Structure 1
Amino acid sequence: MQQKQARAFDRSWILSLFGVAVGAGILFLPINAGLGGFWIVVLLCVIVFPMVFFAHRALSYFVLSAKEPNADITHVVREHFGENLGKWMTFLYFFAIYPACLIYGVGITNTLENFMRMQLHVQPPHRLLLAWGLITLMVLALIFGEKIMLKITQALVYPLIIILALFSLYLIPYWKLDMLLIFPSFNNALGIVYTTLPVLVFAFDYSPAISNYSLSIRRAYGAQAFSKTSAILWRTSMLLFIFVMFFVFSCILCVDPAQLQAAKAQNISILSYFADKFNDPLIAYSAPLIAFLAIMTSFLGHYIGAREGLSGLVAQLLGKQGKRAQAGVHGFLYLSMVLVAYANPSVLDFIENLGGPIIALMLFILPMYAMYKIPALQPFQNKISDTFLIALGLLTLSAVVRGLF
């Protein structure tokens, strides 16, 4: 591959992965992270970049370790761990991504419903009709073909990055700098960091695209795939860290913890809350636009990942493949998204008790197990980063137990 082509190829994947990560998670992260104030978010910054980079790199290495050049993650799991364990791993892979699809359905429905009621001052249609219409549009977009939609998604990422940065800068006059003088107690800080971990993992997760990304890297770079994936994921993770954390800091400096608790109770994103709270037409109309862009750029990657996982599961458990099986997979995903969006469960509870912990299992625990089980991955072992990921994964997983009790 020529140098110019290689740069364009790398850049397209950086943008694609960025777009997959920046979705509903970033819209709700300031609410949870900001409940403890400014210094809690500073503490979270220490773990964000190594968490994102090392975890996604390990998962990419795992996919690249397959003997078959075109094996996706569901095939790689079966190759290394056998059919029985492979079925469980495929099941977990599906359920690591599937909740995100449900969350996007709830998020985009609430965003439009709130925008119509609060900014346009019109009565929104019945929630079931609204959810059905929005999710139908998102799923029908795939009719144009995944390659075309991926190009459209990549094109949307540029304005998303620019608007996200401009919006964060625009909020600066609203900052309450006295929040820098509020210091939480040590126990309170640890508690908030612990409860925020699932949302943090979800907000920076682009694992649904890692399988397709790794296959693409292998086809493009061959024997250099491992070193190239490390370089591309480093740049992607740094881009995410800079833009997302600046957005989070800018948001939490504008509101106090009590206001963030109110946004959490309303089950709306931080942007919808800003649109309602500030008497500023630019914020009122740009905030929902950013929310729509963020959800749309992220939805496609998650939907493709969920479909890949469920298709693998259907093939392994029922032995079903082909057009009829694919139609059933699409039908299940579509119908469940509509019904959950209509039911309107708490997005943050969904992330904390289901989405974040299961993602942690697939993103932290599985690659680390593979790193010490598969001979081809043993040269990439690193005691410090591996211990960090395992500890983080176990802490995030324990959020399920905390949520149950």
Structure 2
Amino acid sequence: MFSHVGTGIGAGLLYLPIAAGSGGIWPLLFMALVSGPMIFLTHRGLTRFFLSSRKPDSDISSVVRERFGNKVGQWLMLICFLSMFPVLLLYTIGISNVTESFLINQLEWAGEVNRPLLVFLLVVGMISLFCGSEQKLLTLISSLVFPLALTLLCIGLYLIPQWRMDFLRQEVPMTDIVTTFLLTLPVLVFSFYHAPVCSSFAQSYRRQIPELHQCIAKTDQIHFKSSLLLLLITLFFVLSCILALTPEQIELAKAQNLPTLSILANQPGNFIFSSLAPVIAFVAILTSFFGFFLGTIEVIDSLFSVGLEKLRPSELTLPSGSSRGLSLFLVALGCWIAGVGDWSILLIMDAIVAPMMAIILFFVPVVGLYKSNVLRRYRNPGNDFLVVIFGVIVLAGFLVSQIIK
């Protein structure tokens, strides 16, 4: 449960108030209505899809190829990669900006910050943690999540005296409400997205509970709890931040590519909050970075393995771990380039991540459900249709954002 929450709480949550803050209260109420079913049904369906493999230890690549065939499976693995790897770039940009802002505004760093060196040290440090024991890494993530969730709730409460109640009375045209809702949906999906850990989550419980339907009952229960916790934390934190931020601060956050907490921390008058807020933002992004890193490396390893198997001579054996080392190097290089380049986080969310996530989260599990006889008893036309409709609306939001830009 905490691995789900830890992966879901990250840059998306910290940037969601910026994306949703300009359309008044109604888009937020619409988001509150759709968020719960969207989080639970989609991630539950994806985990069931991973559990449906004939082999209990199958990874994401094996399940996709088994269910859709090799050719379609390879395209879906590419889409999986495009839904995960850009997120690592986003987290690197976000954590670099938070650190740089902290050095300049809170520590009053003298002189100009050497950004390439700063990003290099951050990337090497984060990936070095990953290169240790995977179990220790998961334990670290889980240990950080509970205090992080509690801290975000406390921040939401702390901001209540700063709420601008005129935001609730703000008159916004219906066209602006609908537009804001559609444009915010991609960031909303990103804010709750913890699909990268669903594959390893399914493998872990399938090893513990070999009987499929008992395993599905257990994982469904965990998904319900994690979805409820994510929903409560996210909606309260986002609402509190939006009510505390001015329109000028929201525009400043977009311009400086900074998350909500960094903008709030840079306000004068509260040294303790100004010092703690960037650290909290750093930890929030860090926990999500590791969750997505696990999924990304798994996908890249499988893509490299398939490619190397096709290219190498049949009598040549590949050294153990060769694809893993190459995967780590390429991911680290990509993260460093993105961090130094400081690309627009919200733009990447809208243009690349959201449509790829929608395909993986909304469409693949439903199609896989109806292609699997093992999962026949879990078919629910009403819920399945709702998931597909959510996916179509998210893609519509993506198209609207591209047309408007």
The TM-score with structure 2 as length reference comes to 0.93
Shift in Å at residue 337 of structure 1? Answer: 0.3
- Give the distance between the partners of 2:183 and 2:43, measured in 1 at CA: 22
- Equivalent residue pairs, number: 392
- 2:388 counterpart residue number: 390
Shift in Å at residue 399 of structure 1? Answer: 4.5
- Give the distance between the partners of 1:296 and 1:109, measured in 2 at CA: 11
1:149 to 131, 134, 137: 137
Shift in Å at residue 55 of structure 1? Answer: 0.2
- Give the distance between the partners of 1:128 and 1:217, measured in 2 at CA: 41
User: Retained in 1: the 8 A contact 2:88–2:335?
Assistant: yes
User: Retained in 1: the 8 A contact 2:182–2:400?
Assistant: no
After superposition, the Cα gap between the structure-2 partners of 1:238 and 1:124, relative to the gap in structure 1 and judged at 3 Å, is: farther
User: Retained in 2: the 8 A contact 1:35–1:261?
Assistant: no
- Give the distance between the partners of 1:279 and 1:252, measured in 2 at CA: 20
User: Retained in 2: the 8 A contact 1:311–1:325?
Assistant: yes
Secondary structure of the equivalent of 2:193? Answer: coil
- 2:180 counterpart residue number: 192
- Give the RMSD, CA atoms, in angstroms: 1.5
Seq. identity, %: 34
Deviation string 1:139-196 (CA, Å, 9 cap, x unpaired) is 0112321111111111111210121111111111111112111142222111111001
User: Retained in 2: the 8 A contact 1:310–1:329?
Assistant: yes
- Give the distance between the partners of 2:402 and 2:156, measured in 1 at CA: 36
- Give the distance between the partners of 1:211 and 1:255, measured in 2 at CA: 38
Deviation string 1:305-357 (CA, Å, 9 cap, x unpaired) is 00001111111233276322211111100000001110000001111111122
1:134 to 102, 105, 122: 122
- 1:87 counterpart residue number: 74
The TM-score with structure 1 as length reference comes to 0.93
User: Retained in 2: the 8 A contact 1:357–1:398?
Assistant: no
Structure 2: any 5+ residue segments left out of the alignment?
A: 313-317
- 2:24 counterpart residue number: 37
1:120 to 107, 113, 116: 107
Shift in Å at residue 277 of structure 1? Answer: 2.6
User: Retained in 2: the 8 A contact 1:20–1:299?
Assistant: yes
- Give the distance between the partners of 2:181 and 2:402, measured in 1 at CA: 19
Deviation string 1:3-23 (CA, Å, 9 cap, x unpaired) is xxxxxxxxxxx1111111111
- 2:147 counterpart residue number: 159
Q: Which amino acid aligns with 1:209?
A: V
After superposition, the Cα gap between the structure-2 partners of 1:161 and 1:64, relative to the gap in structure 1 and judged at 3 Å, is: same
- Give the distance between the partners of 1:125 and 1:396, measured in 2 at CA: 38
Bigger drift between 28-37 and 62-71 goes to 28-37
Q: Which amino acid aligns with 1:395?
A: I
1:59 to 23, 32, 46: 46
Kindly report structure 1 stretches of 4+ aligned residues shifted beyond 6 Å: none
2:92 to 105, 126, 146: 105
Q: Which amino acid aligns with 1:121?
A: E
Bigger drift between 320-329 and 186-195 goes to 320-329
Shift in Å at residue 402 of structure 1? Answer: 4.1
Secondary structure of the equivalent of 1:121? Answer: coil
1:375 to 373, 376, 382: 373
Shift in Å at residue 299 of structure 1? Answer: 1.1
- Give the distance between the partners of 1:369 and 1:362, measured in 2 at CA: 11
Shift in Å at residue 80 of structure 1? Answer: 1.1
- 1:298 counterpart residue number: 288
Matches within 5 A, 1:319-358: 319=309, 322-358=320-356
Q: Which amino acid aligns with 2:357?
A: I
